[in-house]
Amino acid sequence: MATLKKASYQLFSRPDDERFDDFDSFYQHCDRRKEESETHWKAPSEVIPTRGNRDLGLKLTGDRLYSLNDWSFGQTCQLAEVKKETVNRLRTETAAQVLLETIPNGPKPFQILTRGDTVRSIHGVSYTRLFDSDILELVIDEALDFTPPPKGFNGATGLYAGEQDMFAFLIDDTSWVDIGGEQFAPGFFIWNSEVGRRTVGIETFWYQRICANHIVWDATEVVSYSRKHTANVVEAVDDIRLLLRRLVQTRDRRKDSFAKSIGKAMTTSLGSTQEDVLKAISGFGIGMNYIKEAIETMATQSAGFTVFGAVDSLTRITGRITNAGDRAEQDLKIGQLLSLAV
Residues 148 and 251 in one domain: yes
pLDDT at position 259 is 67
Element (H, E) at 60: strand 56-60
Residues 249 and 141 in one domain: yes
pLDDT at position 164 is 94
Residues 168 and 237 in one domain: yes
How far apart CA 172 and CA 180 sit, in angstroms, is 19
Show which of 200, 234, 257 is a domain's final residue.
Answer: 257
Q: Which residue segment(s) compose the domain that 101 sits in?
A: 44-106
User: Looking at the domain assignment, is residue 263 inside a domain?
Assistant: no
Q: pTM for this one?
A: 0.76
Residues 225 and 161 in one domain: yes
Residues 15 and 143 in one domain: yes
pLDDT at position 342 is 63
Residues 299 and 277 in one domain: yes
Which residue type does 154 have? N
User: Looking at the domain assignment, is residue 222 inside a domain?
Assistant: yes
Residues 243 and 272 in one domain: no
pLDDT at position 280 is 87
User: Looking at the domain assignment, is residue 151 inside a domain?
Assistant: yes
DSSP 9-58: HHHHH--GGGB-SSHHHHHHHHHHHHHHEEEEEE-GGGEEEEE-SSSEEE
Residues 25 and 174 in one domain: yes
Residues 29 and 165 in one domain: yes
pLDDT at position 225 is 92
Residues 76 and 97 in one domain: yes
Residues 240 and 96 in one domain: no
User: Looking at the domain assignment, is residue 298 inside a domain?
Assistant: yes
User: Looking at the domain assignment, is residue 116 inside a domain?
Assistant: no
User: Looking at the domain assignment, is residue 123 inside a domain?
Assistant: no
Q: What are the angstrom distances between the C-alpha of 305 and each of 100, 149, 237?
A: 82, 35, 51
Which residue type does 250 have? T
User: Looking at the domain assignment, is residue 188 inside a domain?
Assistant: yes
Show which of 216, 234, 257 is a domain's final residue.
Answer: 257
Residues 315 and 237 in one domain: no
Show which of 228, 257, 286 is a domain's final residue.
Answer: 257
Q: Is 231 exposed, middle or buried (0-12, 13-18, 19+ CB in 10 A)?
A: exposed
Give me the number of domains the chain comprises.
3
Q: Which residues of the chain have pLDDT under 50?
A: none
pLDDT at position 162 is 94
Q: Is 218 exposed, middle or buried (0-12, 13-18, 19+ CB in 10 A)?
A: middle
User: Looking at the domain assignment, is residue 111 inside a domain?
Assistant: no
